[in-house]
């Protein structure tokens, strides 16, 4: 009788472990600037000309300065930011302003340019 209980417990633990092994937390990609530059096809400073404060969707950008890649100054491109939102999530007060200039690290796929994961840098009151 004791042998059967031990076997049942061992089987239960084994089943739980087999179910739990594929369940892991999603690993978010956050890169340092060197990694971003390595992964990107283009690195530019751009002005967001539409959609800056929208919750979702595609933003339109005008290239102001090219650090790397095939884009040219003055070129306009659209790139989705996914669910990125420019809202203050820390501190008190409303005395801050997100500038319309951004530095973006881009890769090109079949649908056009898109951000490298964590490849957006914004300026707040003139500071990155």
Domain encompassing residue 46: 33-87+94-124
Distances (CA, A) of 36 to 43, 75, 95, 119: 9, 22, 31, 6
Place 76 in a pLDDT band, splitting at 50, 70 and 90: very high
The tokens for 126 are: 């003139």
The tokens for 27 are: 């690993």
Count other C-beta atoms under 10 Å from residue 50's C-beta: 13
Within a domain: 3? no
Indicate whether 3 pLDDT > 70. Answer: no
Within a domain: 24? no
Tens digits of residue pLDDT in 20-49: 555 555 555 566 788 888 888 999 999 988
With vertex at residue 49, the alpha carbon angle to CA 65 and CA 41, rounded to the nearest 5 degrees, is 45
pLDDT: is 35 or 90 the higher one?
Answer: 35
pLDDT of residue 86: 60
Query: CB within 8 A of 113, min separation 6: which ones?
Result: 42, 77, 78, 79, 106, 107
pTM over 0.85: no
pLDDT of residue 42: 92
Within a domain: 10? no
Please tell me the total count of domains within the chain.
1
Within a domain: 2? no
The tokens for 104 are: 């973006």
Within a domain: 116? yes
The tokens for 92 are: 């008190």
Give the C-alpha separation, 21 to 88, whole Å. 37
Report the percentage of the chain scoring pLDDT > 70.
Answer: 61
Within a domain: 60? yes
CATH number of 118's domain: 2.40.50.120
Within a domain: 109? yes
pLDDT of residue 65: 94
Within a domain: 22? no
């Amino acid at each position: 009788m004791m042998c059967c209980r031990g076997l049942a417990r061992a089987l239960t633990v084994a089943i739980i472990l087999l179910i739990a092994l594929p369940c892991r937390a999603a690993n978010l990609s956050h890169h340092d600037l060197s990694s971003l530059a390595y992964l990107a096809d283009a690195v530019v400073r751009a002005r967001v000309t539409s959609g800056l404060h929208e919750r979702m969707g595609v933003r339109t950008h005008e290239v102001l300065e090219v650090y790397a890649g095939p884009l040219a100054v003055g070129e306009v491109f659209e790139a989705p930011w996914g669910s990125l939102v420019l809202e203050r999530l820390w501190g008190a007060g409303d005395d801050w302003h997100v500038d319309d200039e951004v530095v973006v690290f881009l890769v090109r796929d079949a649908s056009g340019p898109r951000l490298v994961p964590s490849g957006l840098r914004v300026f707040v009151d003139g500071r990155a």
